[in-house]
């Protein structure tokens, strides 16, 4: 009888602990700011809606470096509303790597792999990434954003937010609890070689055209690591009319596919 009584007491004690932990978890979740609040606050602390709304296009130049491979080159990015983007890296001794999206076609062309059209999930992902002013228009891109916890990233205590797009893979974002600046992003990137885990840390925020923008991005895509540094940002520049046109090599692929 005494054995059963002790077990009964132990079971009741365990139940109380479980209930207390569950209640603590509920309280902790209740203390977390909503994901919507954090994404809106990011727009606010980096410049505000009015400042973002004045930007309709931009050009960035800088460098891209692959330390493990000993490669370094120049980086040029053009982007314009609503969904146009052109990305070019010229690597010393290797040649150019180019990617583009114009809302209808997404493509890639490189000295190493040649031209190709993006299709399916990869194409949809390129369209998502090409949306201009995505931080301002996040409600058009994501169906849910949820704060799921607090983690330390790059020495900063951050809110962890899971953002699920209307099309494509979910992405995780970490916002500094003190500044609300975006510290890290993580997602699954679609590629011809399959899905790749991609992590990017962002730092060196500086004001450009009234908006705080990160100027250093360190990326890890699968086993590959590389760093991007932005040296110059032009806001609302005169972008060449043909900048977002599809290269002839890619057009030839499109005609062949048809």
Residue 29 in domain: no
pTM attached to this predicted model: 0.85
H helices present in 196-243, as ranges? none
Residue 160 in domain: yes
The pLDDT value given to residue 50:
97
Angle at 205 between CA 203 and CA 207, to 5 degrees: 165
The pLDDT value given to residue 20:
46
Residue 166 in domain: yes
The pLDDT value given to residue 239:
95
Measure the CA–CA gap between 124 and 126, rounded to whole angstroms: 5
The pLDDT value given to residue 15:
52
Measure the CA–CA gap between 105 and 97, rounded to whole angstroms: 17
The pLDDT value given to residue 107:
96
Q: Which residues of the chain have pLDDT under 70?
A: 1-30, 255-258
The pLDDT value given to residue 31:
86
Residue 10 in domain: no
Residue 4 in domain: no
Residue 195 in domain: yes
Task: Give the SS3 label for residue 167.
Answer: coil
Question: What total of structural domains would you count in the chain?
Answer: 1
Measure the CA–CA gap between 158 and 216, rounded to whole angstroms: 19
Domain span at residue 158 reads 35-257
Residue 25 in domain: no
CATH of the domain at 235: 2.50.20.10
Residue 27 in domain: no
């Amino acid at each position: 009888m005494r054995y059963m009584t002790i077990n009964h007491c132990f079971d009741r004690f365990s139940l109380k602990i479980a209930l207390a932990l569950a209640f603590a978890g509920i309280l902790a979740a209740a203390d977390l700011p909503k994901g919507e609040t954090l994404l809106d606050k990011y727009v606010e602390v980096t410049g505000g809606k009015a400042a973002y709304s004045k930007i309709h296009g931009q050009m960035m130049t800088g460098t891209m470096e692959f330390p493990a491979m000993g490669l370094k080159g120049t980086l040029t990015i053009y982007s314009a509303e609503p969904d146009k983007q052109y990305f070019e890296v010229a690597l010393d001794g290797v040649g150019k790597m180019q990617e583009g999206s114009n809302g209808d076609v997404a493509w890639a062309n490189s000295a190493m792999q040649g031209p190709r059209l993006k299709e399916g999930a990869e194409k949809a992902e390129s369209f998502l990434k090409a949306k201009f002013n995505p931080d301002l228009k996040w409600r058009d891109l994501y169906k849910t954003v949820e704060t799921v916890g607090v983690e330390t990233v790059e020495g900063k205590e951050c809110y962890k937010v899971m953002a699920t797009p209307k099309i494509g893979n979910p992405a995780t974002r970490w916002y500094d609890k003190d500044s609300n600046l975006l510290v890290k992003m993580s997602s699954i990137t679609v590629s011809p070689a399959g899905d790749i885990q991609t992590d990017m840390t962002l730092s060196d925020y500086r004001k450009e055209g009234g908006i705080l923008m990160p100027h250093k991005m360190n990326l890890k895509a699968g086993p590959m690591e590389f760093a991007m540094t932005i040296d110059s940002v032009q806001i609302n520049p005169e972008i060449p009319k043909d900048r977002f046109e599809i290269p002839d090599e890619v057009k030839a692929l499109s005609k062949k596919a048809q």
